[in-house]
Structure 1
Amino acid sequence: MGFKYPVTKPSLTGRELQYVTSAVSNGWISAQGPYVKQFEQAFADYNGVAHGVACSSGTAALTLALRALGIGPGDEVIVPEFTMVASAWPVDYVGATPVFVDCRDDLTIDPALIEAKITPRTKAIMPVHVYGRQCDMDAIMDIAFHYNLRVVEDSAEAHGVKPVGDIACFSLFANKIITAGEGGICLTDDDRLARQLAHLRTMAPTSDRLVPGDEQRHSFLHKKVGYNFRMTNMQAAVALAQTERLDEILKIRGEIELRYDKGLKDVPGIILMPPRDVLWMYDVRAQRRDDLRAYLAEEGIDTRLFFKPMSQQPGYLSPDWESLKAARFSRDGLYLPTHAELTADDQDHIIGRIRAFYGVG
């Protein structure tokens, strides 16, 4: 059904149309074109990182990151229980095994539980900044240093959180803080990793050095399995325009968070969650959650459920998943409409309907 108040909506009020029109009118609609490099540089600069490597999705970014770090069959990667399943799948894609760790009260991975899951096969930790909350990266980086592990940050939901690991991976799907409709980007300070990410993204070609003056010519010889994970110039045009507005969008989202906090803090039946470093989605825990969702849907207000634990997923099913903190949160959690096009009047209406459901004036 269509909702008057959708849970997410892209905000495309900058130079998105101007840049896309330029890309189309100049014929640069594939991965070749100036906007890809401009976006990579702009997003890397915004985050204070040396290199950006754009790709086709956030999932592709994670897959590239793991491959670039040499992670493969026989290896293990620490992954949070509380996350979207797309965080775990890239570990499988490269032939490694995800090992899951439960969450803290803020839904991010609990560093105190990580060491017990480390084995001689563990090669990396993948913290996920859930709903815009940065993980305890100081503790995670200390563990990684002690055990000589690599750190791949899943920052799909956390544009504006500055990277600290070996590689940080962002999604540009339509529901993210900034978007290209679809797409992703890897950030790293490591020159070699950046070259490897770009090499793998573009089907891992070798150059034909027998052609004088054309070192970039494709030899159609591939020494390793690569991917067609390229971002198009049209997508990059949108992503660049969105990056130019990132501070503005984060400011609007911060105001949305404060307005929800103020309007819902005294509502019995609603448990507010810890603050977010950046606001992706405004998440709460709710008594009679499913009844609340049905009531809000009748009022034209969209909502979404919390993620389910990875150990509840059929592909990773564990018999003790119900005892996890992640499972407890997933039973009563939901998030509310959260996007930069949401007006104060929209929020007042949503808050008013929630208050009415719980009998609060």
Structure 2
Amino acid sequence: MKVLFSPPYIDHDVITEVVDTLTSGWITTGPKVKALEDAFANYVGVTHAVAVNSWTSGAIMVLRWLGLKPGDEVIVPAYTYCATALAVLEAGGTPVMVDIDPDLTISTEAISKAITPRTKAIIPVDIGGWACDYEAIQHYINEDWAKAIFTPTSPVQRLLGRIMIIADAAHSLGATQEGKRVGSLCDITIFSLHAVKNITSAEGGMICLNLPEPFNNDELYKHFRIMTIYGQSKDALAKTQPGSWEYDILFQGMKINMPDVNAAIALAQLRKYDALLDERRRIYVRYNMLLQPYEWALPPPFDNEVQTSAYHLYPLRIRDITLQQRNKIIAEIATHEVSVNVHFIPMPMLTVFMHLGYKIRNYPESYDNYTREISLPVYPQLTNDQIDFVVATLVEAYNKIVHKWHPQPIMNII
């Protein structure tokens, strides 16, 4: 039985929406992008969302707008994909990496210890669908001592008067805390619409705006839309109107707009996202049930009275194994045509960051979880039989590698 890791959800409605775009005569940024932005903002509970061509480009744009200068620091977790820190570097700032908590999200205690007068932003990262402790992060940045040492280096920073929170919610569309959806929990939240995410536009991202007064989110939305097309005063659709060819470049922007043909994919998926999220939850529940008998299996965080997951990944940790054993387990699973993954290689282990002086020994929780983590597949098309097969294959591989005895045939385990 072949099990893929994360195929995109493409059904008849998605195809119909894309074909409608292709036959409309308009395939770049236009009405479908605006419809997706409005639907996305409504879903997460904010007034405005800005579509871009990737999470990374959106983060770079936001950080440039924040006005990072050389020496300005942005706190990020060591345990995340490289894009989180690379965006900071590309925007001219310095990533300050901190360790994580056992739930794989950024350690709020480590954040409090990392804040300095140079700290301009924090980028917490939601992992596998599980949101960070945004309430605790808000508490730290609003403490008198943190505000007292805050040293703004740009007009935006002066207007805010404190450290900005820019959530990396690439994994957490639909997750909630205290009944509010991720996207409405901090200043700015950036989602990924990459091909493997819960909602995809093939490539893409969405910036959700939730800044407090005196910021005007209506005006900021208009400003960011202009920033995505070089700083041009009119988008392509507006320029095609009769007699509207003239435009200006108002400031130095970027070229990171999302085309309508991409937005169409995500728009069709978003319309049925509640049902898709239910299917992802079904998979989580079944994994939890099947793995419960095995004391060596540490499941990821799951829904409780405070928060719910977006069930993006199932980042399983295996207790009391080595990195070499973990890798052998994955290799053994692959022999049965089951695709699993690892999330993530901590950034200090990557060459680009090692050359910048980051050392993995400073992040013991990140390293420990990395060595024991195996991400199991989660996507709406995954059947119960496939889930059973994934778990059976995992159990057989664990027994073969760790206990080194010949297990029962796979299908007899469950």
Structure 1 length normalisation: TM-score? 0.92
Whole-angstrom CA distance in 1 between matches of 2:25 and 2:275: 31
Equivalent residue letter for 1:30: T
1:184 has 2:205 as partner: yes
Whole-angstrom CA distance in 2 between matches of 1:112 and 1:216: 54
Whole-angstrom CA distance in 2 between matches of 1:345 and 1:278: 22
Corresponding residue of 1:172: 193
Instruction: Give runs of aligned pairs for residues 151-300 of structure 1, distance below 5 A.
Output: 151-161=165-175, 162=181, 163=183, 164-189=185-210, 190-206=217-233, 217-219=245-247, 221-275=248-302, 277-286=309-318, 287=321, 288-300=325-337
After superposition, what is the alpha-carbon deviation per residue over 1:212-245, rounded to whole angstroms, capped at 9, x for unaligned?
x9997553x5353211101011111111111111
**Which of 100, 104, 107 is residue 107 of structure 1 equivalent to?**
104
Instruction: Give runs of aligned pairs for residues 82-93 of structure 1, distance below 5 A.
Output: 82-93=79-90
Judged with a 3 Å threshold, the aligned counterparts in structure 2 of structure 1 residues 25 and 355 are, in CA distance, closer, same or farther, namely: same
Corresponding residue of 2:114: 117
1:68 shift after superposition: 2.8
Gaps of 5+ in 2: 148-161, 176-180, 211-216, 304-308, 400-406
Whole-angstrom CA distance in 1 between matches of 2:140 and 2:358: 28
- What secondary structure is seen at the aligned counterpart in 1 of 2:284? helix
Whole-angstrom CA distance in 1 between matches of 2:311 and 2:292: 17
Equivalent residue letter for 1:167: I
1:356 shift after superposition: 2.5
After superposition, what is the alpha-carbon deviation per residue over 1:81-136, rounded to whole angstroms, capped at 9, x for unaligned?
11000111111111111111100000100111112211111111111111111100
Equivalent residue letter for 1:187: C
Whole-angstrom CA distance in 2 between matches of 1:112 and 1:327: 18
Whole-angstrom CA distance in 2 between matches of 1:334 and 1:215: 58
Equivalent residue letter for 2:99: D
Whole-angstrom CA distance in 2 between matches of 1:319 and 1:243: 39
Farther-moved stretch of structure 1 (268-277 vs 70-79): 268-277
Equivalent residue letter for 2:315: D
Corresponding residue of 2:156: none
**Which of 130, 141, 160 is residue 144 of structure 1 equivalent to?**
141
**Percent sequence identity over matched residues?**
31
- What secondary structure is seen at the aligned counterpart in 2 of 1:180? coil
1:47 has 2:44 as partner: yes
**Which of 325, 340, 347 is residue 380 of structure 2 equivalent to?**
340
8 Å CA contact 1:68, 1:196 repeated in 2: no
Equivalent residue letter for 2:170: A
Whole-angstrom CA distance in 2 between matches of 1:307 and 1:224: 37
1:157 shift after superposition: 0.6
- What secondary structure is seen at the aligned counterpart in 1 of 2:316? strand
8 Å CA contact 1:206, 1:218 repeated in 2: no
1:349 has 2:380 as partner: no
Whole-angstrom CA distance in 2 between matches of 1:142 and 1:218: 48
Equivalent residue letter for 1:101: V
Equivalent residue letter for 1:145: N
1:55 shift after superposition: 0.7
- What secondary structure is seen at the aligned counterpart in 2 of 1:131? coil
Corresponding residue of 2:72: 75
Aligned residues: 354
Whole-angstrom CA distance in 2 between matches of 1:65 and 1:327: 30
Judged with a 3 Å threshold, the aligned counterparts in structure 2 of structure 1 residues 214 and 192 are, in CA distance, closer, same or farther, namely: farther
8 Å CA contact 1:59, 1:87 repeated in 2: yes
CA-based RMSD? 2.2
1:323 shift after superposition: 4.6
Corresponding residue of 1:13: 11
8 Å CA contact 1:205, 1:218 repeated in 2: no
Equivalent residue letter for 1:181: A
Whole-angstrom CA distance in 2 between matches of 1:95 and 1:248: 41
1:285 shift after superposition: 1.6
8 Å CA contact 2:226, 2:233 repeated in 1: no
1:301 has 2:301 as partner: no
- What secondary structure is seen at the aligned counterpart in 2 of 1:340? coil
Runs of 4+ in structure 1 off by over 6 angstroms are 213-216
- What secondary structure is seen at the aligned counterpart in 1 of 2:203? coil
- What secondary structure is seen at the aligned counterpart in 2 of 1:335? strand
Whole-angstrom CA distance in 2 between matches of 1:98 and 1:57: 20
